[in-house]
Amino acid sequence: MQMLDVLIIGAGPSGSICSTLLHTANINVLVVEKQIFPRFSIGESLLPQSMSFLENAGMIQAVDDGCFQHKNGAVFKYKKQHSEFNFEEKFSPGPGTTYQVKRADFDKRLADCAESKGVSIRYQHEVISIEKDGDNSIVTIKDEKGDDYKISTRFILDASGFGRVLPRLLDLEKQSNFPQRNSLFCHIEDNIQAVDYDREKILISIHPENTEVWYWLIPFSDGTASLGIVAKPDFFESYSGTKEDIFQQCISEEPSLKRLLNNAKFPNPVNTIKGYSADVESLYGDNFALLGNAGEFLDPVFSSGVTIAFKSAQLAADILIKKHKGNDVCWKTEYAIPLKKGVDTFKVFVEAWYDGRLQDVIFFEKTDSSVRRMICSILAGYAWDENNPYVNKTERRLNVLAEICKS
């Protein structure tokens, strides 16, 4: 039976970056990925903070070479209100721009880059069960021919995203505090001609009659775009017809999107994801840790998923490298607590978005410019920068700010 130091489940962003960091530190790591790349994944708008993790792993060139759509900010729209954040004006140091990416291509680039640095990735190999064997785990994997084989590993990193392999197998699933929300989305040919439209920014617009319902428009560099809508299930249930009919009706109800997309073509079927929020009892345990979406997933509104996936990969790699060098490590203080710091910052922002406090802040025109730069920092992914007062006491400061913006 093959013996490993670390087995990583999944070759998405967290698996690719983590395996590269571990392999570079001479740790015996293997990635098993159940699909064959390129494959579709949702999560196409990156945040500037994510670039520093790519840089650190020596993977930035692979992404820069991808000719992806440059991204420098976000635009929010609600009825006649419009608010623009330029990420280069953020409070925190670090990259101020990033990309909007078709994930099929982006994830393949990262995985190929990992392989080019020496990482082994086995595609169409699916982890199906795990059992303890003393200090090691025996993992059963189904290969591309449907045959099972076993691997012994000292440590498992679950980077399986919405596959949530270890949460399911080890009974770690916990109900998310967020209510169920669903999403309808597809790739379109946007044909946008409006001169005031900025392809370098994600557009988040809010339904005119229901401020809990929002849309994303993520343009790509080839004239196509990702278009999506997020709402609670009862909102979608009030429409009839096919997914495509419901999608079109929802788009036509948001006047600025309707105008922007009046020449758009919709050649692709509409996809749906239901109840995407997820949580776990613990992010780590006896010889395992959960990366990215395999741990907690909040909500897509601030495009934080890939950044959190990268941050988790970086923290986990740092700990395993430290351990490999013979040092004691503590997954609670070196992984779960620091990771949660930024996740909790985003969590407060997501809650405040849906109850309206953050929308008041975003559309308030007279916000002090230094405060706006601090909010901008978090929207750019710098949710772990404890020098930012809105990271340190997020809830309290946001409440004060929302009161000012409301009055």
Contact positions toward ligand FAD, by CB under 6 A? 9-15, 32-35, 41-46, 126-127, 159-163, 165, 183, 273, 276, 291-294, 300, 303, 305-307, 309
User: CB of 67: closest distance to ligand FAD in angstroms?
Assistant: 19
User: CB of 381: closest distance to ligand FAD in angstroms?
Assistant: 9
- Read off the tokens for 49: 């903070």
Our CB check for ligand FAD shows the closer of 9 and 374 to be: 9
Cα 100 to Cα 178: distance, rounded to the nearest angstrom = 26
User: CB of 369: closest distance to ligand FAD in angstroms?
Assistant: 27
CB 31 within 8 A of CB 12: no
Q: How far is CA 63 from CA 19, 103, 305, in A?
A: 17, 11, 17
Q: Which residues contact 158 (CB under 8 A, 6 or more apart)?
A: 9, 10, 164, 165, 166, 167, 288, 289, 290, 291, 294
Our CB check for ligand FAD shows the closer of 182 and 399 to be: 182
For residue 188, the surrounding DSSP H or E stretch is strand 182-189
Nearest-CA neighbor of 359 among 350, 369, 370? 350
User: CB of 388: closest distance to ligand FAD in angstroms?
Assistant: 20
Q: How far is CA 174 from CA 101, 212, 274, 281, in A?
A: 31, 24, 17, 6
CB 4 within 8 A of CB 11: no
Our CB check for ligand FAD shows the closer of 126 and 254 to be: 126
CB 376 within 8 A of CB 86: yes
Our CB check for ligand FAD shows the closer of 307 and 314 to be: 307
User: CB of 31: closest distance to ligand FAD in angstroms?
Assistant: 8
Our CB check for ligand FAD shows the closer of 353 and 401 to be: 353
User: CB of 13: closest distance to ligand FAD in angstroms?
Assistant: 4
User: CB of 302: closest distance to ligand FAD in angstroms?
Assistant: 8
Our CB check for ligand FAD shows the closer of 183 and 205 to be: 183
Helix then strand then coil, % of the chain, to nearest 5:
40, 25, 35
Our CB check for ligand FAD shows the closer of 14 and 367 to be: 14
Cα 135 to Cα 327: distance, rounded to the nearest angstrom = 17
User: CB of 405: closest distance to ligand FAD in angstroms?
Assistant: 26
Q: 3-class DSSP state for residue 201?
A: strand
Query: CA-based angle 214:223:50, to the nearest 5?
Result: 60
Our CB check for ligand FAD shows the closer of 159 and 402 to be: 159
